[in-house]
Amino acid sequence: MGHPVFRSLTTSPMHRFFKGFRGLVVGLPTAVGPAAVGLALVVALPSALRAHGAAGDADLAPGAFQLSPVLTIEGHGGFENNLEDQPRHYAIDGLVGVVLEWGLPNKGSLAIEAMVGPALVWGEAEHFYGRVHVEHDHGEAHHDDDHAEESHGHGSGAPWRRADVRGQLQVRYNPDERLSFTAEWHPYYVTRDQGDEREGFKHELGVGVVWALGDGDVNFALGDGLEAIADGIFLSVNNRTGWDSDGTYVGNYTDPWLGVGFNIDRLNVTISGGPRFYSPGGYANLPDRTDWGGEVALELPVGAKTVLFAHWSPIRSSQAGEGWGRGWQHHVGTGVAFRF
């Protein structure tokens, strides 16, 4: 079935990170949402549901091809506790799509995953990690309405906003069982002007690599002890770049993280973390900085074609500035993935 680390990592965000390491994706990560939490965490799904619905049940023979329709439903929330008003966002995403996978020599594979669907938004819309809240002059026509909605949002926590549309396109190349390369694009369409949100497309681009140091065969329910944990260790490097819906370049970050994955019977647990080297866009007037974060993800197969998943990604900002603060941001999510 391939290396368990790659069956468990996925992009996110959007989740994602990720979700492969989604990098999100579930995301580390998939906006302060699934797609923006840094590395798309490769939550250990059976290979049939890699990347919350991607990839096949077993290794494909070289030259073999598999097509799998997929559906993912996820509820998630973001908590920006390091900002003055501590804004919140909540959303329910329903993504449908397809995974195309080809078998390669050395138990490798090439997969393309494409998904799209609605995102029901409460509070702030999901956005790229590190976005600084700055005042913009959007014109007199909707200036008063914008501030009325912003005040309402801050006062009531996270009111219903609107239905947006999000998507994901990911290409994953595994030359063998222990190495994985990913490239992904996460478009997000804001359907109307509201508060400080402008109608239009947000974009997030990501590339990543995952190297499994062990064979990944760790299951504490089958008698493995702590001495076997080394078989579940992996290294990952993920880079992400984001733009807001008005075209503003938000920033870029790189996560070189260390992680470990293991099973407790059928439950897969993946834990990863490390520094986040963040470079804000020029609009923020902030210097480059090093933040710190991680991801904890759980996945449980409940049938041959269904997986339940949950994830938590805390990120701590190391510096403060105008519109930005030192402290923690959190993203949590849970959902279900189906392969048909």
CA separation for the pair 132, 139 (Å, rounded)? 20
**Which pLDDT does position 150 carry in this prediction?**
44
**Domains of the chain, first to last:** 4-339 (2.40.160.40)
Tokens 């368990």 locate to 4
The pTM assigned to this predicted structure is 0.81
**Which pLDDT does position 143 carry in this prediction?**
42
Q: Would you list the DSSP string of 98-139?
A: EEEEEEETTTEEEEEEEEEEEEEEEESPP--TT---------
In the chain (340 residues long), the average pLDDT of successive 10-residue segments reads: 46 31 31 34 33 50 95 95 88 97 95 97 86 61 42 57 96 95 97 89 97 86 81 95 95 97 93 97 93 96 94 93 90 95
Rg of the Cα trace of the chain?
19
In angstroms, how far is CA 142 from the centroid of its own chain? Answer: 33
Q: How many CB atoms are located within 10 Å of the residue 248 CB?
A: 20
CA separation for the pair 227, 25 (Å, rounded)? 31
Q: Is the bond leading into 339 cis (omega within 30 degrees of zero)?
A: no
**Which pLDDT does position 136 carry in this prediction?**
52
8 A C-beta contact, residue 293 and residue 317: no
What does the angle CA 295 – CA 100 – CA 190 come to, to the nearest 5 degrees? 60
8 A C-beta contact, residue 91 and residue 70: no
**Which pLDDT does position 58 carry in this prediction?**
62
